[in-house]
Amino acid sequence: MTTPAISVILFLIASLFGALGQYLYKSGAQSVEGGFVGYLTNWKILSGVVCYIAVMVLFVVAYKKGGQLSVLYPVYATTFVWGALIAMIAYGEPIKPINIGGMALLFLGMYLMGK
């Protein structure tokens, strides 16, 4: 069974939404005021939840289009790359050479899993 390119693209989009969801959770948590209700009414946290719903919908659509789980799911590991880029842009967190090495290993792993 081959994995259609559209399924891979959908998983890449899902990984971007996953990283964006994490950013929204973090920034929402930093701006919450009050107790438990503050978490439930914070627009950033709620937007993060919407991102994760989008991730699950994209997963389902991608699987419906066809492809192997062992090929598609490792593509979701690009979430770590998106997360590092978002952290660099939003918080000024540096991407160090060791991080780039880790990213290269992620891409190598995705390539090998797709073989």
Q: Consecutive sets of 10 residues in the chain, 115 residues long: mean pLDDT of each?
A: 90 97 94 87 95 97 91 91 95 95 92 82
Cα distances (Å, whole numbers) of residue 40 to 37, 50, 62, 66, 113: 5, 13, 30, 36, 39
Question: For the chain, what is the domain count?
Answer: 1
Q: How far apart are CA 34 and CA 14, in angstroms?
A: 32
Amino acid code (one letter) for 16: L
Q: How far apart are CA 44 and CA 29, in angstroms?
A: 8
**Confidence (pLDDT) at 82:** 96
Using an 8 Å Cβ cutoff, are 48 and 114 in contact? Answer: no
pTM for the full predicted model = 0.89
Question: Which residues constitute the domain of residue 21?
Answer: 5-114
Q: CA distances (Å), 38 to each of 20, 22, 27, 50, in order?
A: 20, 18, 13, 17
Structure-token pair, residue 91: 């918080």
**Per-residue model confidence (pLDDT) at position 115:** 76
